[in-house]
Amino acid sequence: MKRAVRGITYGFLGCCVAAAALLAVPHAAAQDKTAKVDGKSLFEQKCLKCHKVEKFKSQHNSRSEWETILSRMERNSCVLSEAEATALSDYLAKQYGK
């Protein structure tokens, strides 16, 4: 009988540890979303993956025009969160704007 109680207790504790680990994961992801997004890093990581810098140097778009372009890129294959799109359009307007 003691063996059965011990098995149930260990099983219960194992489930509690697993549940606590799963609850901690979304919390960590939420903290990452509130972190400051760096437009320059995103530009280097996302844009320069497919395009050359010269393409951006030849364009002089406003922030809203960059937002439109980023929206078009998202329809193709570029995946951006809202915070990333904002940071990226800010960076592009500052560096390659009118």
* Span 28-60, pLDDT tens digits: 444 455 567 899 999 999 999 999 999 999 989
* Average pLDDT of every residue of the chain: 79
Strand, coil or helix: what is 90? helix
Q: What is the pLDDT of residue 28?
A: 46
% pLDDT > 90, the chain? 52
- Token couple for 43: 């530009």
pLDDT value for 97: 87
**Tell me, what's the pLDDT at 29?**
46
The domain ranges of the chain are 1-35, 39-96
One-character DSSP codes across 15-69: HHHHHHHHHHHHHHHHHHHHSPP-HHHHIIIIITTTS-HHHHHT----HHHHHHH
CATH homologous superfamily, domain 39-96? Cytochrome c-like domain (1.10.760.10)
Q: What is the predicted pLDDT for the residue at 12?
A: 54
Residue 31: per-residue pLDDT: 45
* Closest C-alpha among 84, 62, 64 to residue 74: 84
pLDDT at 87 over 90: yes
Longest dimension (CA), the chain: 79
